[in-house]
Structure 1
Amino acid sequence: MVIRRIREHAAHADWFTVGLDLLIVIIGVFLGMQANNWNETRVERQQAESYRTRLVEDLRANESDLKQRREYYRQVRHHALAALEVLDHPSASAGEQFLIDSFQATQIVPRTLSRFTYDEMIAAGGLDRLGNAALRTRVKNYYSAMETAETTFRSTPPYREHLRRVMPYQVQQRARIRCREKLGTAQSGEQTNVLPTSCALELDYEIVAKAVTRIRSSPEIADDLTRHLIDLDLKLDLFDLFEGRARNLRQNMEVKTS
């Protein structure tokens, strides 16, 4: 309609009105562009706040997960130390508890830490909208370091394969049933794993004695268990480190949102 009016006014050489109509068109286009820019800015701001809120929840889940893993692997380490004590002293008597300790020392938590929001944000190019440069750098460094640490978290030293290869199947089956870890769900939705504080296999003496002899006589089983303990110590140190990093970053981000 405006274009038709401009043509009519131009046909009558009414240049003042033509100029006024053009000005109205330019102002309309400008206001439309501004409204679109304001809307995009609002959407980006809302998206940034959504990312920030979800990152805070992911970090809180990481804290809970790392704390739970630390307790789990402390139990594993306790069993590993008890088993190594028997292996390092050939004259020491060994029975059902040695079998339990040897088997429970192989337990692992293979899951990864939560990073879904960060990965989604990177894929969408949303990191630049998260906050100031210092905060963006902290977030990026946390997840980059976590990716490196996951290599250690998921590592499985040879002891697990070694023990489960030489321990008789009947003993392992009984251990899996009688000493089964308890699985649950944390408030964040993450799976939780808890080893029992005590259990009993209740196997015949002959079966226990045969299994003990087979394990103790397996070449380099003590060396593999020693290596496993070193790996457990490193995991526990990293759990402490990254729980602290996750907590500090979360608290920093919560301050930014308050």
Structure 2
Amino acid sequence: MILRRISDAFRKQDWFTVAVETLIVVLGVFLGIQLGNWNEGQADMRRGSAYAQRLAIDIRTDIRDRSNLLAYYEAVNDSAERTAALLASSSPDPRELVVNAYRATEYATHQPTRSTWDEIVSSGDIGLLPPDFVEDGWGSYFTDITANNAAQNALASSYRQRVRRTIPHEIQRAIRESCGDKRDEIGNVTGFRADCNLDVSDEEWATAAEALLSDPELLPDLRLHFSNLSSARGDLTGSLYSLQQAIGVLESGSTGAKRAPAE
């Protein structure tokens, strides 16, 4: 209709009408574009808010799991402390020494919950997240290897290798089966089981304990092992503090205004 009126005005050389009708068309296109941009911006805001909420849920899950992992390493450290005391004792209880020496070699790990983050990256929507979350580099958490480093250090520990090379396989298996890890309702380790009903004779305990006590390198290796455990516990504690801060940023209510290219 407007185009027909403009065409008629051209034929009649009615320049005022041409100008008015053209202005109406331009203004309509401009307002349409602005409305489209506003709608897209609102959709981005909603999507960014949904992403932030989902990331916060993922990180809260990770906080719970990493708290359990920290508790586990505290239990491992307690066993290491008890082992050191028993090694220094004049007449240590054989069963207690062997069980604690073995428990001090245990490890566990945890990987960040990445599903939401991977979706954001693959869709190029990082810029929709709260600016502080992006600018402060919180996304690096999802490639965090803190827990994995703790496990790798434990696996490479000379103390772990020495103890597991010394204690007979049958006793190690009995400890794992009847006196091993305690887990929560979803299978994460949180510590060690208290009910240790081990089918091992006194003679077997005494022989295994004597093998540990007679190894002059066991205590030096245990001292080095303490350093690894201290690093693991410190790193996990720092990670938990950082994750609490990340949740605060995600729940601040401010989201980004534009998309960013996937990284």
* TM-score bracket for the superposition, by shorter chain length: 0.7 to 0.9
Show CA shifts across 1:135-181 (max 9, x none).
5334x157459826345333333233332233211111111111132
State the shift of 1:101 in Å: 0.7
For the structure 1 residues 52 and 236, does the alpha-carbon distance in structure 2 shift closer, same or farther, using more than 3 Å as the test?
A: same
For the structure 1 residues 172 and 150, does the alpha-carbon distance in structure 2 shift closer, same or farther, using more than 3 Å as the test?
A: closer
Partner of 2:236: 239
State the shift of 1:198 in Å: 4.5
Show CA shifts across 1:222-256 (max 9, x none).
22222222221222223332222222332344343
Partner of 1:161: 161
State the shift of 1:79 in Å: 1.0
Q: Is the 8 A contact 1:146 1:242 kept in 2?
A: no
Q: Is the 8 A contact 2:87 2:213 kept in 1?
A: yes
Show CA shifts across 1:84-115 (max 9, x none).
223345x4334112121112112212222334
SS state of the match for residue 127, structure 2? helix
Partner of 1:51: 51
Does residue 70 of the first structure (1) align with residue 70 of the second (2)? Answer: yes
Partner of 1:80: 80
| One-letter amino acid of the structure 1 residue matched with residue 125 of structure 2 | G
Partner of 2:259: none
State the shift of 1:220 in Å: 2.6
Partner of 1:137: 135
CA distance in 1, matches of 2:243, 2:75: 23
SS state of the match for residue 155, structure 1? helix
| One-letter amino acid of the structure 2 residue matched with residue 41 of structure 1 | G
| One-letter amino acid of the structure 2 residue matched with residue 225 of structure 1 | L
State the shift of 1:13 in Å: 6.7
Partner of 2:206: 209
SS state of the match for residue 193, structure 1? strand
1:194-233 superposed matches below 5 A: 194-218=191-215, 220-233=217-230
CA distance in 2, matches of 1:119, 1:145: 9
RMSD: 3.4
CA distance in 2, matches of 1:198, 1:238: 30
Report the count of equivalent residues.
250
Show CA shifts across 1:61-83 (max 9, x none).
23322322222211111111112
CA distance in 2, matches of 1:85, 1:179: 21
Partner of 2:247: 250
State the shift of 1:54 in Å: 1.7
- Unaligned segments of structure 1, at least 5 residues: none
CA distance in 2, matches of 1:41, 1:142: 23
For the structure 1 residues 52 and 88, does the alpha-carbon distance in structure 2 shift closer, same or farther, using more than 3 Å as the test?
A: same
CA distance in 2, matches of 1:177, 1:49: 46
Partner of 2:101: 102
| One-letter amino acid of the structure 2 residue matched with residue 246 of structure 1 | L
Moved more, 58-67 or 104-113: 58-67
CA distance in 2, matches of 1:149, 1:110: 9
Q: Is the 8 A contact 2:110 2:147 kept in 1?
A: no
TM normalised by structure 1 equals 0.77
CA distance in 1, matches of 2:119, 2:162: 39
Partner of 2:190: 193
Moved more, 117-126 or 204-213: 117-126
Moved more, 242-251 or 102-111: 242-251
SS state of the match for residue 185, structure 1? coil
Partner of 2:261: none
SS state of the match for residue 206, structure 1? helix
